[in-house]
Structure 1
C-alpha cells in the first residue's frame, strides 16, 4: 500500500492512545514463557510482538520471525534453553543478512547446541534445546543491546544464574537497564557494577500482573509533528515520567525544537506555541537511543537546521542500513547530508522539495519518521503498511490530528 499524505492544518490538537512498548512487551513475553504465573497487560499490538507471541507458543519445528530482529535474538536464547526442542529459526531475506554470531557464540559458551544452516554467523539457525550448565560469558560491550538482553532474560532460568562481562564501552545502556529492571520487578536479584552483570538463579516467581508502558519510540513521531507544526497540543497515553525506556530522552531533546512535555496521570502532553524558540544547530550522541535518530534527522531538516548525530553504529544492521536509507531519502527532498558507518551530518537548508515519494526499505521507522514532513509539503510514502511492525494504528492516528492520508 502506497499513500499520499498532507496536512489540513498546521495547528494540531488531539488525544492519542499508543499501545504498549514493543521493547518491554517482548522482554516480558520471554519472561512469561519461563515463568507462566506472570500476566501481562497493555501488550503491544505490533507485528514484532505478535511474532514473538506466536513463536513462543508454537510447537512447530520451524519458526519464521519475518523481519522481527528482537524476536530472532530473544527466541534464539529461549529455545537454546528448552530441552527436547529442535528448532529451525529463520526470517526474511534481510534477516538472513543480519549478524547473530556474537549471541550464538555466547550461548555456545554456556553449553548451547546451535549451528548455522547456511552462512556462518547468520540465520537460519538450527537449535537443539538443552539444559545449559554454564554460568559465565564475555561479549563485546558495544554490540546490539538485544544480544545482551537475550542473555540476561534467560539468566535466572540457568542453574547457577549468569555472570556476564561486557568488554569495552557499553552502548544502549538504557535498554540493558530496562531488562534488569523487569527482572527486578519479578523478584530476580542482580548486580550491575562497572562492566560486570551478575544475575542470580530463580526457579519460581510470585503470581503477578505486569503493565507495559506505551512505546516511547512511537511517541517520537508526535514529538516531530509538534516540532514541525505552527502550534500543537497533543496528549499521549500511557506514559511514565520515570520510564525505563531509553527513548524517553525525547522530552529533553525536543525542548530544543520548541516542544514542551508535561506529565499528568498516566499520560504525557506535548505543546508548542507559535512563537516557540528553536535551536539553530543540534549535536547529539544517540548511542543510548539510536531508534530515534531517523525522527530527529527529519525534524532537523524540516526545521531547516543542521545537526550532527553520533553513536549510530547499530543502525547499519537494522531492518535496512538506516544511515544510507536516510541519506538517500532526505536527499530527494533537497537535503545536504553525509553519513559514515556511525554518524550523520546534515547541513542547514531552507528549501524542501515538493511531492517526493519516500522509499521505506521494509523499515517501519522510515515510513513514520518522514510522515511529519507532510506539515511542510505534500509527500508520498511507499509500502506504508510497513508501520504494522511496531505501530499498526499510525496512519489512523495521524488522521485524528488533522492529516489527510489517501491510498494510491
Structure 2
C-alpha cells in the first residue's frame, strides 16, 4: 500500500489517544511470562507487542518474530532459561542480518546453550533452555540497551541473581532505568551504581500485580513534528502520558522547545502547542539516550529549513534498516544536503523542498511516519505505508482525523 499525501493544514485543535508504549509492553510481557500473577493494562497494539505475545503463548518449537527486534533480544534470554524446553528462534530476512552475538555470548557467560543455525552471530538461533548457574556478566557499555535489558529481565529468576559490569560509557541509560523501575515495581531488589548493575533473585508471591502501560513517546514524536511545522497557536492533546515518564523519548518535550513547541501536562495528557518560531538556525543534539527520534527530528529541521547536527546515533545502523543511510538518501531526494558518519548526522540548511517526491520506507516504520509531517509543506508519497503497523497501527487513521489529506494508490 502506497499513500499519496496532499499538501494539508492541521486542525487548529485536536485530540488523539495513543496506544501503550511498545518498550514497556514488551518488558512487561516477558515479566508476565516469568511471573503469571502480573496483569497488564493499556498494552501496545503494535505488531512488535502482538508478535511477542504470540511467541510466548505458542506451543510451537519454532518461534518466528518477523521484524520484531526487541522480541528477538528478549526471547533469546527468556528461552535460554526455560529448563527442558528446546526452540528455534527466527525472524524476517532483515532480522537474520541483525547481529545477536553480543547477547548470545553474554548468556554463554551464564551457561546458556545457544547455537546459530545459519550464519555465525545472527539469527536463527537453536536454544536449549536450562537452569543457568552463572551470575556474572561483563559487556561493553556502548551496546544496544536491549541486550542489557534482556539480561536484566531474566536476572530475578537466576539461581544467584545477576551482577552485570559495563565497560566504558553507557548509552541509552533511560531504557536500562525503565527495565530496573519495572523490576522494582514488581518487588525485585536492584542496584545501578557506576558501571555495575545488580539484580537479586526474586521469588514471586501469589499476590496479583497490575501494571498500566504509559502511552508511547516515540509515537508522540510525529505529532511534535506536525505541531512544529504548523502555524502558531495550533495544538493537539495526546493521552495517556506521565510527566515522570520511564521512557527515554520523553525528552521530546524539552527538545521540541527548540522548534517552538511547548508541552503542557495535565491529568495524564500532554498538550503540544506551537507558541513561537524556532530561534536557533542550527539545532545541536546528543541522542545517545533516545536514538529512535532522530529521524523525526531530522525531518522537522528540514521542513523548518534549519540546520541540524545529531550525535550519539551509532545504534541506528543495526535497526530495521541502516537509518543513517536511509535518512540521507530520502532527505536528499527532497532537496537536502546531509553528511553522515557511523554515529552522527549533519543536515545543512535547505532553501527549497522538492514536491511530489516518493519516499522509500525500507521496511522501517519510523521512515514512513517521520517523513509524513512534510505534507504540511509539500505533497509527497509514502511507499509501503502499511509498515507503520510495527509500532503504530492507527497512524494513518489518526492523521486523517486531524486534517492530513491522503489517498491510497
TM-score, normalising length: structure 2 = 0.98
2:261 is equivalent to residue 226 of structure 1:
no
Unaligned runs of 5+ in 1: none
- Rounded to whole Å, the distance in 2 between the matches of 1:12 and 1:367 is 24
Deviation at 1:76, TM superposition (A): 0.3
Alignment of 1:199-214 (within 5 A): 199-205=199-205, 206-214=207-215
Aligned to 2:185: 185
- Rounded to whole Å, the distance in 2 between the matches of 1:153 and 1:209 is 17
Instruction: Give 4+ residue runs of structure 1 displaced > 4 Å after superposition.
Output: none
Deviation at 1:149, TM superposition (A): 0.1
- Rounded to whole Å, the distance in 2 between the matches of 1:8 and 1:334 is 20
Aligned with residue 248 of structure 1, among 245, 250, 258: 250
- Rounded to whole Å, the distance in 2 between the matches of 1:357 and 1:258 is 28
SS for the counterpart of 1:380 is strand
- Rounded to whole Å, the distance in 1 between the matches of 2:342 and 2:97 is 17
Q: Verify the 8 A CA contact 1:11 1:230 in the aligned structure 2.
A: no
Measured on the aligned residues, the alpha-carbon RMSD in Å equals: 0.9
Deviation at 1:324, TM superposition (A): 0.1
Alignment of 1:25-40 (within 5 A): 25-40=25-40
Aligned with residue 257 of structure 1, among 233, 236, 259: 259
- Rounded to whole Å, the distance in 2 between the matches of 1:9 and 1:380 is 17
Aligned to 2:176: 176
Aligned to 2:52: 52
- Rounded to whole Å, the distance in 2 between the matches of 1:342 and 1:277 is 25
Q: Alpha-carbon deviations, 1:45-76, whole Å to 9, x = none?
A: 00000000001111111011000000000000
2:47 is equivalent to residue 19 of structure 1:
no
Q: Verify the 8 A CA contact 1:7 1:402 in the aligned structure 2.
A: no
Higher deviation after alignment, 228-237 or 36-45: 228-237
- Rounded to whole Å, the distance in 1 between the matches of 2:137 and 2:153 is 14
Deviation at 1:308, TM superposition (A): 0.7
- Rounded to whole Å, the distance in 1 between the matches of 2:271 and 2:373 is 18
- Rounded to whole Å, the distance in 2 between the matches of 1:259 and 1:9 is 17
- Rounded to whole Å, the distance in 1 between the matches of 2:182 and 2:305 is 40
SS for the counterpart of 1:344 is strand
Deviation at 1:8, TM superposition (A): 3.4
Aligned with residue 266 of structure 1, among 250, 265, 268: 268
TM-score, normalising length: structure 1 = 0.99
Deviation at 1:11, TM superposition (A): 5.0
Aligned to 2:393: 392
Deviation at 1:315, TM superposition (A): 0.2
Aligned to 1:316: 317
- Rounded to whole Å, the distance in 2 between the matches of 1:91 and 1:185 is 32
SS for the counterpart of 2:6 is strand
- Rounded to whole Å, the distance in 1 between the matches of 2:278 and 2:158 is 53
Deviation at 1:277, TM superposition (A): 4.1
Aligned to 2:105: 105
Q: Verify the 8 A CA contact 1:12 1:402 in the aligned structure 2.
A: no
- Rounded to whole Å, the distance in 1 between the matches of 2:155 and 2:10 is 49
2:100 is equivalent to residue 116 of structure 1:
no
Aligned to 1:357: 358
- Rounded to whole Å, the distance in 2 between the matches of 1:357 and 1:339 is 22
Aligned to 2:71: 71
Aligned to 2:92: 92
- Rounded to whole Å, the distance in 2 between the matches of 1:62 and 1:363 is 24
- Rounded to whole Å, the distance in 2 between the matches of 1:381 and 1:402 is 17
Alignment of 1:123-162 (within 5 A): 123-162=123-162
Aligned to 2:408: 407
SS for the counterpart of 1:403 is coil
SS for the counterpart of 1:296 is helix
- Rounded to whole Å, the distance in 2 between the matches of 1:262 and 1:167 is 38
2:64 is equivalent to residue 80 of structure 1:
no
Q: Verify the 8 A CA contact 1:16 1:234 in the aligned structure 2.
A: yes
- Rounded to whole Å, the distance in 2 between the matches of 1:118 and 1:153 is 27
- Rounded to whole Å, the distance in 2 between the matches of 1:388 and 1:10 is 23
Deviation at 1:222, TM superposition (A): 0.2
Number of residues of Structure 1 aligned to a counterpart in Structure 2: 407
Q: Verify the 8 A CA contact 2:10 2:404 in the aligned structure 1.
A: no
